[in-house]
Structure formats: structure tokens, C-alpha cells
Structure 1
Amino acid sequence: MPSYTVTVATGSQWFAGTDDYIYLSLVGSAGCSEKHLLDKPFYNDFERGAVDSYDVTVDEELGDIQLVKIEKRKYWLHDDWYLKYITLKTPFGDYIEFPCYRWIAGEGEIVLRDGRAKLACDDQIHILKQHRRKELETRQKQYRWMEWNPGFPLSIDAKCHKDLPRDIQFDSEKGVDFVLNYSKAIENLFINCFMHMFQSSWNDFADFEKIFVKISNTISERVMSHWQEDLMFGYQFLNGCNPVLIQRCTQLPEKLPVTTEMVECSLERQLTLQQEVEQGNIFIVDYELLDGIDANKTDPNTLQFLAAPICLLYKNLANKIVPIAIQLNQVPGDENPIFLPSDAKYDWLLAKIWVRSSDFHIHQTITHLLRTHLVSEVFGIAMYRQLPAVHPIFKLLVAHVRFTIAINTKAREQLICEYGLFDKANATGGGGHVQMVQRAMQDLTYSSLCFPEAIKARGMDSAEDIPYYFYRDDGLLVWEAIKTFTAEVVGIYYKSDQVVAEDQELQDFVNDVYVYGMRGKKASASAQHAAVNFGQYDWCSWIPNAPPTMRAPPPTAKGMVTIEQIVATLPDRGRSCWHLGAVWALSQFQENELFLGMYPEEHFVERPIKEAMAQFRKNLDAIVRVIAERNKNKKLPYYYLSPDRIPNSVAI
């Protein structure tokens, strides 16, 4: 009688093992075997991290093995099991791999195909077509779309983390509990001693240093020492937390009536302002999106304020970017003066603080939340709904949406929900952040998500004209490495544009992204998240450099600002502590983080793909070396887009 050697690998994460009964059936082209209980007497099978082998003898010839069916039946209590993969050695010496990397919950079952990636057109056998169709039907019931707020990209239909399909939940929910992490951050940073003075003001700038007692972070310390300088202010538009807003100014906007006379002390080339514009030396950052957004009113005891500044910047003779004019609201007028470096020290400083605060709001809600988290979730849900596990694009994408839907669900549950943690410290809490996303959706296009196109659209693509833009330089290297790798993988399965057009599963996936993510607008990846997330503690922990709220409105006249007024405008002690805890928690890598190029789950079994992955890792390693060499001896190293610091997915 034919005998097969079956090897079963259990996951190594917490609670991956099971004591339940595990049965296996083999489905071949000539027949189906009976159920076999996988059990070794006097041996504890399917322990966490175990790889167990069994001999399975069948009564008759099965032909080519097409499917493996696994059933889990209760032994004592419900006991979920994480199955990594099954391998099969046939009586004829063939070796077949069946990737799984899924949980089997309760008294469940799972049917696996061998690991070779196949398009729908490659499947000619009825049982394989049926398996493919059933898998998608099941997933479409599990992964349902929901509109969390009108105008938002759609998200997963789940009220809380535990409602999610088991396969996309975190291994340990405790590790991503925002409330717990905030509390831990506040404790770790020794800032809980200020919480009893929640709504009291700081005394002066030096007072903020008291919540910095446990910092050993070079960039944070440098920001604290140099935050008032124009060079540091300008540098952050290129390489800080939010390096995506600055653009070359090709025409001075009418709403910013700045003249050469106003800024001539800042211009170093003996040219007029218009000539500097024509030579490409003027840059602009416009926070128009914040105009009219409602400030947070969830705390009746504290008034909070927002502004919508326009900031004009200049590339000086040293090729550094510095600010030369700031208008704090969109409509020019006597009560909306243009602040200049030549103004009184504290007038100019407060104007810059307002810009930094506005930058923080755009960064958190648009650059970070909308354009990395929410967009990535759309791709993840669409993938699960429309691409079966055997599809090459599923295999390519699955590692890059790991835990993304889970972290977003956690955020909706605890962070950005009504009365959530976001409301505690941010002037855009209490609904302003929702208005911002709804407004920003009008500019969310597919091309704006493509790194080179987005850089070029802002006129920031010339490394010769605009040096020291490390976000651009490193991002283009990483983009090219990813593009080369994905093109090689895709090229193996799609030999022509016609094959792409005729792949209905792929078309359904793209349509889901377009309809539910871009919301059907006709105009319309993980590295970007690393660029805008993991520097939050570096750049935002010094409160005056990134105030999450302001407690007085923008000044309406010059010559009136004192340092006491600035300190009274900045966040109170309690909100500063919440803010510091937040940016610390959000800047931490997950335990056992998987970084770009790491694919421990082997969904692909084909040798050409494994070779492409190995080359991808080599290309990424080369980029790591280039960035490390560039950063040598730099007082402000830029490392957020070094591939060894880019997680595979948006998961924090």
C-alpha cells in the first residue's frame, strides 16, 4: 500500500501549539484518502515551534496530489492552532510543499494547495477551480468593508480587535494596546510626576527639559538645543518627520503679499524676490488644509486653537533651506501680518512655533494616518477579498500587510475614536482630525502615492539643485530596489499586458482599491510609513518644536509677543506629558519586527522567486551601506529609510 511522509510545522508565536486532535486527508487526481489521525503515542504533538513527521499509508493509488485537508477537533477545550506548512514526500519520491501560515480556530478545517503560484487561467482541473472560488467566497464573508466615517477610505467591518478574523489579529493583543503603551511610556520617561498638575502651564522653555530626564537620544537632544534656529527649522521640511509638504515655489501666491523689501535681508544673491523664484531658490509650504478646521473642544476648561500658515523658504548660498516669511492664516490683512526674520525675536519665534504645530497636525492625520495606515489597510482588505492564497500577487503582498488591519482597528478602538487618546492632547482631536481626512481625500490620487511622481510633482526631484534632501535620496534608492524586485516577480507570471487584463482576480483587486480606497475618484507602501513614523520621538518629543495644541490664538499684530506669552500658548503640563508618551510609543519597533526583504513565511516555493528575494536582500544591504557611509560623523544622521529600519508592513 502506498505510504506518504507528512511533515507538519507549528508556528513559534505565543499559543501557536494545540492539544486538539489533528486529522489529515489527501486529495489526488485518482481519489481521496480517508481521514488519518496524526498522532504519535506517548508524544506531545503540535507543540509551539515543533516540526512533526508522520507516515500516512493509503489503501489505493491517489494519483497526483492536488489538495491536503486538515481538520482540527476538540480534545478538551477550544484550542487554536497556527499551522505554518505541510510537506509531503510521495511514494514516488516527489517532494511537495503546502504553505499555510494561518490559524485554525475551534473545530475548524483548512484545505491547502501546493505552494506553486498560479493564476486563475492556469487552473484547468475542476477541483482546483472550485477550491479557488470557495476560498474567496469564505474570505469575502470574513473581510467586509465598513465606512468608519463619511468620506474616509473604507476599513474592515470590526468594532474591536477581537472581532477581526483570527489570521490578521496580533499574536499578543497586549503589545499594541495604546492605553497600556501610553501608560508605559509615561512611566518609562519619568513624566508621571507632572500629571497631578495636568492643566498648569510651564514656567519657561527650560521647564520643558524636566520631562526630558530620561532621554539618551542624540537627535532629540540636538533639537532641544537648536530648535529656535532658522537652519534647524528649515532642515525639518527636508528630513524631519513630515518631509512631504515642501515644494518649489514657481509663482508667489496672491494670498501671501510678500515683497522684496520685506525679505531682502534674507536674500543672499542680490536678486529680487521674483528673480529668486525664477532661479528656483524659493520654496513654499502651505497649510491651507487646516483653514476652517474645528479646534478641539472636548475639554471645556481649556481653549485650543489652530492656524493655517503659509511659510516661504529660501535656499541660501550654502544650499541650506531657511524660512524668510510666515503668514499665520490664509487671508491677508492688517490682522494677519507677515512675520519676518528681521522682526522682534519672539514675534518670529512664535510664528515658527505656529508653523511647527500646524506641521505636526498635518503629519499625524494626513501624512501618517491617512496616507500610510488607512491606505495600506485598503490594499490589505482588497487582497484578502479578491486574491486567493495561490495567486502570485497575494503571495507577494501578504507579508507587507501583516498586522496593518489589526493596528488600524486598535487605533479606531482606542486612539482616534470619540473621546479616545487622540483627544487628550491634540488641537485637532474632538472631530477636527475627521474633517481633515475628509478634506485630504480630495487630493488622494494613486500617483501621489508613487514616490518618484510625488517628489517630482513638488519640484523637489533635482539632487543637484536641492542637496541634503536625504528623504528623497534614500527613498528613491529603496523605491528602485522594490520596483526591480517586484517587476522580476510579476514578470515570471505575467508574460504580457493581455495576461494582466484577462486576470479577473487581479482586476477585482484593483477595482476594490479604486472604489473603496480612492472612493471611485477618476483622478486617482510600507517604506513611506517608516519615513514618517519612526522619527516622531526624535523630532516631536521636544514640545516647543512640535506643539500638539496651542492655548491662545495666533498673534494679530507685531511687537506684542513676550516669552511669557509663548509659554502660556504652548501645551500645558498634562497635554505635554500625553504627547510625549504618544510619540515615544509610536516610535518603537514591534518585538520580533520583520524588516524589508525578510520573508520568513515562505509563501513562494519556486526557485526563481527565492533567487529574486535573495538578490533583493543584497540590493537592500547595499543601500544600508550607502546610507551608513553618508551618515558617518553627521550631527544629524538620517536613517529612517535605511532598509534595516523599514518594517515590512504598517504595524505600529
Structure 2
Amino acid sequence: MTTYEIKVKTGDRFGAGTDANVEIVLLDGSGKQTKPANLDNWFRNDFERNQLDVFKIKDDTDIPEVTEIKLKRDQAGLFSDWFVDKIEVLNQKSGVTSVFPILRWIRPDVDLYFGKYDTFLPQYDPRPEQRNAELQEKQKLYEYEEKFSGLPVQVKTVPEDENFSTDAKLDIAKRKYCLLAGKAVELIFGSGSWKTLENLKGVYSKIFGYPKGMNDWKSDESFGWQRINSVNPNLICLCTEIPDKLGVTDEELKPFLEGMTISEAISKKRLFIIDLEILEGITCVEGHVCPVPIALFFENSKGQLMPVAIQLFQQKAPDNPVFLPSDPPNTWLIAKMWYNVADSNYHQAITHLGYTHLLMEGICVAANRCLSPSHPMFKLLAPHFLYIIAINDRALNFLVSPGGWIDKTMAVGSTGVLELAKEGARTWRMGLEGSYPEFLKSRGLYCKDGSILPTFYQRDDTLALYEAIFGYVSKYVNLYYDTSDKILKDVEIQTFGQELTKSKSKGGCGFEGVPFENGKFSSVDQLTAVFTSVIFSSSVVHAAANFPQYDAYGFPPSYPTKIKGVPPKNKNSLNEENLVQLLIDKSTTLDTMVITRILSERSTNALGDFEVNYTYDPAAVQIVEEFRKELKDISLKIHQRNEKLERKYEYLLPEEIPNSISI
């Protein structure tokens, strides 16, 4: 008799444990198989949630290396549903262990077969009927719905599997409770409006700590830093000409261009522009204004980005002056604050919500609908979809809903945020905004030698991470598609491409810029581009937009999301009292601090360190290990650079980037 040791890991999901009777058969692929054996330890409650159970069975058939298992459960007991993470089988005679990643709910009263490593392209799966039946069930769970007209598609109903685990729910609740301390912090704040800036600054040491945005927030160096190294570095572009609608002259700008003319600064690639025209006509909260600014920036001899002109609305007019650094200090400072209102509202609606949360949910739904859990590309993508559907469901119901946090703290409110998100989604292209090198090139900022904006550290770190992800994905894709014929005959990957590109009106995601040509994927380059874009957007892009939020918005004067009154229409001298009168009230300040502090905290594992392990194929495991090593090398380089800097950029250290959009 041969003894087999069988380890069964039940999943950590709601209702994952089972009271059912479980039966297993071991196979070797050549016809040899053991007799059905019940998995049951006497006087032990087997198969509880997140539990590892070990069984020993004996059989007169010796299978030195088990290559397939057959699993079956009945519907006995009060709770018969069962989600299994993995099963390991050890032949004690041969000493060979075989791993079977399951990562599925086990359907009742059906013989289910799982191969070693469970990684097959559909055309090579020995059990196609089982695979197709499973996909049909998933398509019922993951249906598309355009919940808000014009926004990316989302899942119609949140599947139970997509909800936060109990641990994650408790962690979020605990952090929120600790920050709010049962609303006791409101006693520290009091109510009403701020009287002085010192009054506002005094609350930070008592509650959340000082945001980095408080340091030197009035300076032009800090304002320029915000454009390239804070929450929204996706707007800055190399300036190639001054638009007619911007009312600046050589004479006005020369004092701020280190003696250069505008044309000289342009020719030397040292003049930059941001035009927030997309904000024109966006709905605002009643009684509040969101500017639609154009601003110019100059790279000085120290490599710092400095603001040199701000026009708060699009067209030249007597009551729409161009503000300059030579204007009265508080007048110039208040112009920068109004500019930041526009920038912050764009950031939250498009850079953050639109380009990461909403777009990636549609791709998550498509992957679950089209790719079997046994598909190697599903295993590549799955760690980067963790909790995205759950967090989006909460965000839209809590933050973006009428009367929610967005309405209270942002100038455009929930209505304007959704309008902006629609505009952003309408123009997003996977081959442009979804491909970081191309996105940089389109803005004139692609540069690896520091010759353009040498202090644009966010760009440098992002580019290094993009290239690491691209290399990782390229190796992984090439492992399973060593010929283009394998891509062409992969019906699941072709269906995935069809659903990504099919219009929303016809039941697809409606994405533009997907390299899905003539209705098919045909090359590893195309697949590498798509999967790199998804993993990059779900990890690096989201981290860059999300985790600096408390440092940016925690001190409202530094980067206001909403202020009182109306933008200045002339350059009259203003004082600090005028500035303080613009600030949001104490209650809204508290709300901004609490939410941005929660959003800025990591709640899941770092990039490459997956909460759930989907990859067991040894060749693929080696590729993952190489990726992790490259991430460590990137981290070391960032640390070495930061040691030399007075103002450090630390938000894209690989160990600080979660795998997925989970908060």
C-alpha cells in the first residue's frame, strides 16, 4: 500500500468552510488512479474557513507523481458550500509533492478535475467541458452595467467573492475609528471658521500629524513641486507656443525667465504649460467657483519648476488678469490657491477616480467573464484586481453620492466630479494614457537623462516601474505564447479582446486604443501592452494619485479643493486676513483631513507580494521572483537618490505600492 499525505487549504472568504462530505481521487494522466477516498479526520471539524487540514490515505495503486486530482463534494450539513485555495499531494514512497491551485468554489455533486499547477491555455485544457461550464457560471455573476451614463462600465451586482474579507473590513473600520475617535476630535477643532493661519496650524500636532504640504507651502518652489511630484503630475506639458488666449508678453515674463525671452525658453525646453480647459462648463456646488486656468512654468537654473504666470480663466479679459510672481505677495499666493482648486478637482475626478478606479473595474469584469481561472493570463492579472469592485462600490455610495464627502469638500461636487470623469474616460486611450512612455512623449516630457525637468522624480520613478512591469509581463506572456498561432487559437483571450473593445451599447467595455487589430490579438507585443497597462494602472498609477493625498490636501491652504468667495478680478493688494476668509470651515477641514488620511494609508500587500498566490508553474514562479528582485533594485536606487535630496519623493518606493486599487 502507498501512503499519500493530502493537505487542503480552505479559502479565507465568507462562507468558504464546508460541512459537506468530500471525496478525492488521485490520477497520473496515463490511466492509473486511486480509489475514491473520503477526506475526514475523526473528531475534528475539517474544512473551516482559512484552515489547513492534513489527511493521510492509503491505496494499493502507487502513483509516484500525481498529475491530476478529481474532487467531489455533496450537499450534506447546514453549510455545504466550499471554497478551496489549494491542495498538495505527497506520495510518501516517492517523496514527490504535487501542487494543485484550486481558487474556486467547488460545485456540489459534480466530478471536478484539476491538473498540476492548473495552468492551461484553453486549447490545451484536457477538460474543456468543465472549463466552459465554469466560465458560463462566472458570466452570470459578472455582468456589465453602465451605472452612470458616459462613465466606464462596472459590474452590475457586486459578486460575494469581490467583497472585502472580514480582516480588511475590520482594518478599515479600525483606522476610521482611530482617526475620528468617536468624533471627539471635533472638540479640538470647535466649530465655525478659522480666525488665523496659526489657529489652523495648531490643531495638527494634536491629531493627525503634519502634512508635508505644510512645509514651505507659500513658496513658488513648493507650488512648482506640486505640479510634478504631488497627486496630479499628469497635466504638465512642454510648452511649444503661447496660446492666443493667454495674455502674457515677453516684457512681463522676462524677469522670471532668467533673462531669456519666451521663444528662447521654449527653444531650450525650459518653459512648460498646463491648460485646464476641460473644466469649462463643469457644474459647481452652489455658491462656489472652480476656475478654468492656464498656467506657465519655468525650469530655473537649479532644475526647479517655478510658476511664472497664472490666468484663472480661459479667455483674455480686463477682469481676468494674468497673475505674476511680482504681484503683491498675498495676491499672487491667493491666485495660486485658486489655481489649485481647479487642479485638485481635476485630480480627484479624472486622474484618480476616472483613470484608475472606474477604468480598471471594467477590465476586471471582462477578465472574469472571459478568462478561466486556469488561464495563465487570468493568474497574471488576478492579484491586481483585489478589492477594486468592493472599494468602488463603497466609494460611489459614500464619497461620490449626493451629500457625501465630495459634495462637502470639493468645488465641483459629486455632479461635477462625474461630469469630469466622463470627459476623462471619453478621451482615455490604452495606447496613450495607458502607456506611460507614450503619455510622456505626447507631453514632450519623455527623458531618461534628466535633460528635461531633472527634479521630476515622480516621472523618473514611474518610468522605471513601468519598464520593470513591462519586462515582467513580456517574459510571462512569452512563456505561454511562444508562437502567434497559440494566441490566434486561444478563444478566451480573443473573447477578452472583443469585450474590451466592443462598444458599451453592444455589451462591451468600449475601450479605445487597445491593440486589438482586425478583431483579434495576433502578437505577444499586443498582449504585453494590454497586460502591462492594466497592472501598471492598478498599482503604480493609482499609488501616485492616491497615497500623497494627506500630504497634499491635509493642510487646506496648500492645496485647497474648495474655497469661499470668487477669484480675484484684479491685482489689488490683499492681506492674510483676506486669505483666511477663503478657507473652508472647521468641520469641512476635519472631513478633508480624515478621509485623505485614510486614503493615504496602505491596506494591502506591496507590488509583487501577492495576497493570494495564483502562480505555481515553476517557470512562471521564476519570472515572478525576477520581477521582485528588480523591484528591490529600483527601491535601492530611489533610496540612494533621496539621501542626497532635501525634498524627497518617496511615494513610489516599490514597497509602498499596493498590487491593486484596494482603497
Of residues 540, 548, 562, the one that matches 1:527 is 540
Amino acid at match of 2:235: L
- 1:230-309 superposed matches below 5 A: 230-268=220-258, 270-297=259-286, 303-309=287-293
Give the corresponding residue for 1:461. 446
On the 8 A contact 1:329/1:336 being kept in 2, the answer is yes
Instruction: Please point out which of 613, 621, 626 is paired with 1:610.
Output: 621
Q: Which amino acid aligns with 2:236?
A: I
Provide Cα deviations, 1:576-611, integer angstroms capped at 9, x if missing partner.
111111110100111xx2111113533222221111
- Counterpart amino acid of residue 543 in structure 1: P
Aligned to 2:552: 539
Residue 597 of structure 2 corresponds to 584
Q: How does 1:215-226 map to 2 (within 5 A)?
A: 220-221=211-212, 223-226=213-216
2:319–2:570 CA contact under 8 A, matched in 1 = yes
Q: Quick one: which of 613, 619, 639 aligns to 1:628?
A: 639
Instruction: Tell me if structure 2 keeps the 8 A contact 1:190–1:211.
Output: no
Q: Which residue of 1 aligns with 2:197?
A: 205
Shift of 1:61: 10
Once the two structures are superposed, the pairs formed by residues 135-534 of structure 1 within 5 Å of their partners are: 135-158=134-157, 163-166=158-161, 168-172=163-167, 174-175=169-170, 182=176, 184-187=178-181, 191-193=185-187, 197=191, 200-214=192-206, 220-221=211-212, 223-268=213-258, 270-297=259-286, 303-446=287-430, 447-462=432-447, 463-515=450-502, 520=510, 522-523=512-513, 525=537, 526-534=539-547
Shift of 1:26: 3.1
Q: Please, what TM-score do these two structures have when normalized by structure 2?
A: 0.88
SS at match of 1:21: coil
Q: Secondary structure at the match of 1:314?
A: strand
My pick for the range that moved more, 488-497 or 270-279, is 270-279
Q: 1:252 to 1:79 in 2, by over 3 A?
A: farther
Deviation at 1:424, TM superposition (A): 2.2
Give the distance between the partners of 2:107 and 2:595, measured in 1 at CA. 34
Q: CA 1:306–1:216 in 2, change beyond 3 Å: closer, same or farther?
A: closer
CA positional deviation for 1:260: 1.0
Alignment match, 2:533:
none
Q: Cα gap change, 1:211/1:109 in structure 2, threshold over 3 Å: closer, same or farther?
A: farther
Deviations 1:150-192 (A, max 9, x none): 111101112xxxx4232554344634768x8655433399742
Q: Does 1:75 align with 2:77?
A: yes
User: What is the SS of the residue equivalent to 2:256?
Assistant: coil
Whether the aligned pair in 2 keeps the contact of 1:325 and 1:340 (CA below 8 Å) is yes
Q: Which residue of 2 aligns with 1:88?
A: 89
Instruction: Quote the Cα distance in structure 2 between the aligned partners of 1:490 and 1:204.
Output: 58
Deviation of 1:640 (Å):
1.3
1:601-625 alpha-carbon deviations (Å, 9 max, x no partner): 3322222111111111111111111
Range 57-66 or range 630-639, more displaced = 57-66
Q: How many Å separate the matches in 1 of 2:416 and 2:4?
A: 62
Distance 1:422 1:622 in 2: 39
Give how far 1:515 is off.
Answer: 3.3
Look up the equivalent residue of 2:422 and give its one-letter code. Answer: Q
Return closer, same or farther for 1:105/1:589 CA change in 2, 3 Å cut-off. farther
Q: What is the distance in 2 between the residues matched to 1:254 and 1:493?
A: 53
Q: Tell me, what secondary structure is at the counterpart of 2:215?
A: helix
The within-5 A match list for 1:54-73 is: 54-56=55-57, 66-71=68-73, 73=75
How big is the shift at 1:520? 3.0
Letter in 2 for 1:401: F
One-letter identity of the residue aligned with 1:464: S
Change (3 A) 1:119 1:67: same
Structural mapping, 1:44-59, within 5 Å: 44-47=45-48, 49-56=50-57
Unaligned runs of 5+ in 2: 515-536
Cα distance in structure 1, aligned partners of 2:295 and 2:110: 59
Distance 1:638 1:266 in 2: 26
Determine the structure 1 residue equivalent to 2:532: none
Match of 2:523 in 1: none
CA distance in 1 between partners of 2:26 and 2:131 (Å) = 15
State the shift of 1:549 in Å: 1.1
Partners of 2:613 and 2:361 lie apart in 1 by 22
Is this contact kept in 1: 2:82–2:105, CA < 8 A? yes
Question: 1: CA distance between counterparts of 2:503 and 2:199?
Answer: 47
Gaps of 5+ in 1: 298-302
Alpha-carbon distance, 1:648 to partner:
1.0
Give the match's secondary structure for 2:203.
helix
> Aligned residue for 1:131?
130
Between the aligned partners of 1:118 and 1:398, the Cα distance in structure 2 is 16
Note the C-alpha offset of 1:523: 4.5
TM-score (norm 1): 0.89
Q: Which letter maps to 1:631?
A: N
Shift of 1:327: 0.4
Check the 8 A contact 2:410/2:562 in 1, yes or no.
yes
Q: CA deviation at 1:482?
A: 1.3
Task: State the 1:264 CA deviation.
Answer: 1.8
Distance 1:521 1:42, change over 3 A: closer
| Separation of aligned partners in 2, 1:442 and 1:43 | 56
Alpha-carbon distance in 2 for matches of 1:282, 1:215: 41
For 2:171 and 2:112, how far apart are their aligned partners in 1?
28
In 2, the alpha carbon distance for the partners of 1:622 and 1:375 equals 30
User: Is contact 2:190–2:586 with CA below 8 Å preserved after alignment?
Assistant: no
1:404-449 CA-to-partner distances (Å, cap 9, x unmatched) read 1111111122221233332222222241111101111232001211
Which amino acid counterpart does residue 486 of structure 1 have in structure 2? Answer: V
Contact 2:540-2:657 within 8 A present in 1 as well:
yes
Q: 1:108 to 1:639 in 2, by over 3 A?
A: farther
Offset of 1:195 from its aligned partner? 6.5
Q: AA paired with 2:415? A: G
1:54-93 residue CA offsets vs partner (Å, 9 max, x unmatched): 24467989998645324264534x4765422012346995
SS at match of 1:52: strand
1:554–1:460 Cα change, 3 Å: same
Q: What is the alpha-carbon root mean square deviation over aligned residues?
A: 3.0
Once residues 81 and 421 of structure 1 are traced to their aligned partners in structure 2, the CA distance between those partners, rounded to angstroms, is: 39
Q: Whole-Å Cα distance in 1 between the matches of residues 475 and 545 of structure 2?
A: 28
Report how far residue 477 of structure 1 moved. Answer: 1.4
Q: Is 2:340–2:561's contact at 8 Å kept on the other side of the alignment?
A: no
Q: Indicate how the Cα distance of structure 1 residues 91 and 120 shifts in structure 2: closer, same or farther if over 3 A, else same.
A: farther
Using the alignment, how far apart are the partners of 1:176 and 1:409 within structure 2? 18
CA deviations on 1:520-578 (whole Å, 9 max, x unpaired) are: 36556211111111111122211111212122121112205333232222211111111
Q: Which amino acid aligns with 1:224?
A: M
Opposite residue 7 of structure 1, the aligned amino acid is: K
